[in-house]
Amino acid sequence: MIARGSGGVILNVLATYAWTGGPGTVHSACAKAGVLAMTRTLAVEWARHGIRVVAVAPGPFDSKGASDRLWPSAELEARVRRGIPLRRFATREEVAEACAFLVSDAASYVTGECLTIDGGAWLGRGILGEDETIPKVRRRRD
């Protein structure tokens, strides 16, 4: 892109556990966190060449691969859905449309950003969070 001199857009794909953590994801979380750092660093470095670098972090979405590996039982699937404030999985089309926006001219002033597409799941709860309020902290009386 630099040699061509015509600019362009690079779209990276992350996972929200890069910043929230999650059991069994250390290898992938480390890699995804590195991709986020790379996205932001290259966005700054390559902006002068007209190259935008952006990322998406999709949350759970309906796919056979995900359901077989991440929520193989109806009980676990229900638990994952409860951890998503919108109470549903994304569709592939929703993720694709967000990607299409980021690489389009409509987002021509966006660079170095990671768009989270997870129905609000990463907002302090994670995909295995329970549908409960945070318990009140008991104060010790002095």
Determine what percent of the chain is predicted with pLDDT higher than 90.
60
Q: Residue 17 catalytic?
A: yes
Mean pLDDT calculated for residue range 1-13 = 96
| Largest pairwise CA distance in the chain | 70
Which domains can be identified in the chain, with CATH numbers?
8-117 (3.40.50.720)
Confidence tier at 139 by pLDDT (50, 70, 90): low
**38: closest CA among 53, 16, 52, 18?**
53
Backbone phi, psi, residue 8, to 5°: 155, -170
> Taking Cα atoms as reference points, which of 60, 59, 41 lies closest to residue 51?
41
**What CA–CA distance (Å, rounded) separates 34 from 3?**
25
**Nearest one of 57, 42, 54, 61 to 106, comparing CA atoms:** 54
Average pLDDT over residues 107-125: 91
CA distance 57 to 73: 24
**b or e along 107-120 (b: 16 or more beta carbons within 10 Å of the residue's beta carbon)?**
beebbbebbbbbbe
Contact 56, 18 (CB under 8 A): no
DSSP strand pairing (114-117 vs 51-58): parallel
| Mean pLDDT on 94-109 | 97
**Catalytic position from the list 17, 71, 89, 122:** 17
Q: Note whether 50 and 8 are within 8 A (CB).
A: yes
Give the pLDDT of residue 61.
82
